[in-house]
Structure 1
Amino acid sequence: MLSRSSEVISFARAFLEPLAVYTLLSEKITLVDLAFDARVNEVYTLAEAAYQVHLNDYKIAAIPPALTYGPVVMGWREKRVAESATYWWQGLTRGRLDPAIETCIHRDAGRLTTVAEFENRYLELFEAPQDSRSKSLGLFCNPLYNFRPEDRPVFWRMLMCQLLIYRRISARSRLPEGIKVSHRFSFDMRDIDTIQRAGEIKDDLLESSLNVALQYSSGLLGGK
């Protein structure tokens, strides 16, 4: 299920790294920590939300304008070739997501794996397709294979949701603790310009995915 593509390996690590940071943080942070510093609480809440995006593919697909999405059906292997937007699985279960994240964690050292360490682990699992960790990592990478927004519209929406969340984490981390910020999310127009300049996504698909991401994120911090 895995691919030796250097692009897939690179993107897999890029997507797994912040989730691995969240995993390590969640094992150390306490309710006292979260109650003491509102900024830490917000960043942690957002990091958890980024994790949840991978589990909420059906929810994100159903946000208006709803997408037709049903990858768990009889004959999915054949159907996903003919209609990948509908039948290609673009999310994960927690039972597959957590083992995939572990490939980006060096447990003995209590840190993230280096780029080289991750690549070595990935290639070891590539050679061991029957290993359950290989299957979990393969499923995590599944939406990346031959990715195009129109062929993986749910995953594209998920990426836009994560773009909002990670940008907010970055901005909030730089602000002093006492600064109050709105619960409303907004896109950085520089990001939108970058996507548009790539010229590989239709305007209507881009617009709908941005609107969906804003709807999805609207209640993440408890406000509208």
Structure 2
Amino acid sequence: ITAEKNARRDYEYEARKRLYEKCEPLLFILNESAESAFDRITSLARTAREGNLTEDGWLSREGYYMRSTIYILLSPLVILKLMQKELTLIDLVLDPRIDVQYTIGKLIYNSLTSDFEFAQLEPSLKYKPIYEKDDEGKKRISNPQIYCKQGIPKGWLDNALQSMIVSESNKGDRCMSFGEFEQAYENEKSQLRKHFWVIKELFFLFHPESRPIFWRILATQAYSYKLLVSMRTLNFDNEACTWKTELTKINLMTVVLPNLYWHSDASQSGNFSKELSTIANLYLEKELYSKLGIKVK
């Protein structure tokens, strides 16, 4: 029995050593990109509130704001893909801190492909997306909130993320820089350009009012990113697992909600934002807390 315990201890030691060597640098980058993603989502709310997301506004053309928005919101998911290559189920059991961060990352990834689920959350929204080539009646123009696609199919999302990975023989894989992203995006023959047309369609002429389902997704991501960054304050070293209680007590509503006001009429913004808060909390409870075995009161 002693020999088995020693073998198990040695195995876990080596596993932890490998885990920290491979994943700690990625976790640092993930946290940095999470802060940037949160800031960009709140920037979208502010830009809408200031009247700059109109038909001739900042997302009406393939300029800097659209390209940087796409890059900033997808780069954390590229880091998640890089982590997937390094992690095993045993790794996640060994370190709950990494497990939680990885689970939050998966939640954010899955949210982009869950547009139909977000449409059905109360209050439910009518949603019958059609693609431009099938839109003979121009329904996407007259009723974009119903007929415009407001999520990304999983296969297309995976292809887009994969095209943002740079492989270096002596250093391994990494997420491309924004400069590299812009260069590849401008090249009409690049793999990135090939896989990003559906991503561009998602952001083209985006406004929280005309794309309410996608805005629900982005708001939930804002909550998730803030939760991810806030984990730095949690104590994962005690055997009582108090981090589970601490995780649910992070006051996301106070921190996140004011940053999601997009309506120029402040009285209207409050109603919309409270609805978003409820939806985000429902999604977090289903996709995060329940999977971590955390009961939310």
Q: Indicate which of 63, 88, 102 corresponds to 1:5.
A: 63
Task: Tell me what 1:62 maps to.
Answer: 120
Task: Tell me what 1:111 maps to.
Answer: 174
Measured after TM superposition, the shift of residue 39 of structure 1 is 1.2
What does residue range 209-220 of structure 1 map to in structure 2 within 5 Å?
209-219=276-286, 220=288
1:40 matched to 2:98? The reply is: yes
Instruction: Indicate conservation of the 8 Å contact 2:257/2:274, yes or no.
Output: no
Alpha-carbon distance change, 200 to 165 in structure 1, aligned in 2, over 3 angstroms = farther
Instruction: Indicate conservation of the 8 Å contact 1:13/1:104, yes or no.
Output: no
Q: Report the Cα distance in structure 2 between the residues aligned to 1:26 and 1:60, rounded to whole angstroms.
A: 25
Task: Tell me what 2:254 maps to.
Answer: 189
Measured after TM superposition, the shift of residue 186 of structure 1 is 4.7
- Counterpart of 2:140 in structure 1: which amino acid? R
Per-residue CA deviations over 1:45-75 (Å, capped at 9, x if unaligned) read 1111110001101001100000001104753
| CA-atom RMSD in angstroms | 2.5
1:14 matched to 2:72? The reply is: yes
Query: Alignment length, in residue pairs?
Result: 219
Identity, % of aligned pairs? 24
Whose RCO is larger (CA < 8 A, sep 6+)? 1
Task: Tell me what 2:200 maps to.
Answer: 141
Structure index of larger Rg: 2
Alpha-carbon distance change, 76 to 164 in structure 1, aligned in 2, over 3 angstroms = farther
Q: Report the Cα distance in structure 1 between the residues aligned to 2:263 and 2:145, rounded to whole angstroms.
A: 21
Alpha-carbon distance change, 77 to 46 in structure 1, aligned in 2, over 3 angstroms = farther
Q: Report the Cα distance in structure 1 between the residues aligned to 2:174 and 2:108, rounded to whole angstroms.
A: 20
Per-residue CA deviations over 1:22-59 (Å, capped at 9, x if unaligned) read 00001111111101011111111111111000110100
What does residue range 115-194 of structure 1 map to in structure 2 within 5 Å?
115-124=178-187, 127-128=188-189, 133-178=192-237, 179-182=242-245, 184=248, 186-194=251-259
Per-residue CA deviations over 1:6-36 (Å, capped at 9, x if unaligned) read 1110000011110001000011111111010
Q: Report the Cα distance in structure 2 between the residues aligned to 1:12 and 1:112, rounded to whole angstroms.
A: 14
Identify the structure with the greater helix proportion.
2
Measured after TM superposition, the shift of residue 221 of structure 1 is 2.3
Q: Report the Cα distance in structure 2 between the residues aligned to 1:180 and 1:76, rounded to whole angstroms.
A: 54
Long gaps (5+) in structure 1:
none
Normalising by structure 1, we get a TM-score of 0.87
Measured after TM superposition, the shift of residue 104 of structure 1 is 2.4
Long gaps (5+) in structure 2:
1-59
Deviates more, 1:140-149 or 1:59-68: 140-149
Measured after TM superposition, the shift of residue 194 of structure 1 is 2.9
Per-residue CA deviations over 1:99-145 (Å, capped at 9, x if unaligned) read 11123221234111111111111111xx24xx775353121232211
Q: Report the Cα distance in structure 2 between the residues aligned to 1:113 and 1:63, rounded to whole angstroms.
A: 35
Measured after TM superposition, the shift of residue 190 of structure 1 is 3.5
Q: Report the Cα distance in structure 2 between the residues aligned to 1:132 and 1:69, rounded to whole angstroms.
A: 31
Alpha-carbon distance change, 9 to 62 in structure 1, aligned in 2, over 3 angstroms = same
Alpha-carbon distance change, 205 to 112 in structure 1, aligned in 2, over 3 angstroms = same
Alpha-carbon distance change, 10 to 104 in structure 1, aligned in 2, over 3 angstroms = same
Structure 1 segments, 4+ long, off by >6 Å, are none
Alpha-carbon distance change, 110 to 3 in structure 1, aligned in 2, over 3 angstroms = farther
Normalising by structure 2, we get a TM-score of 0.67
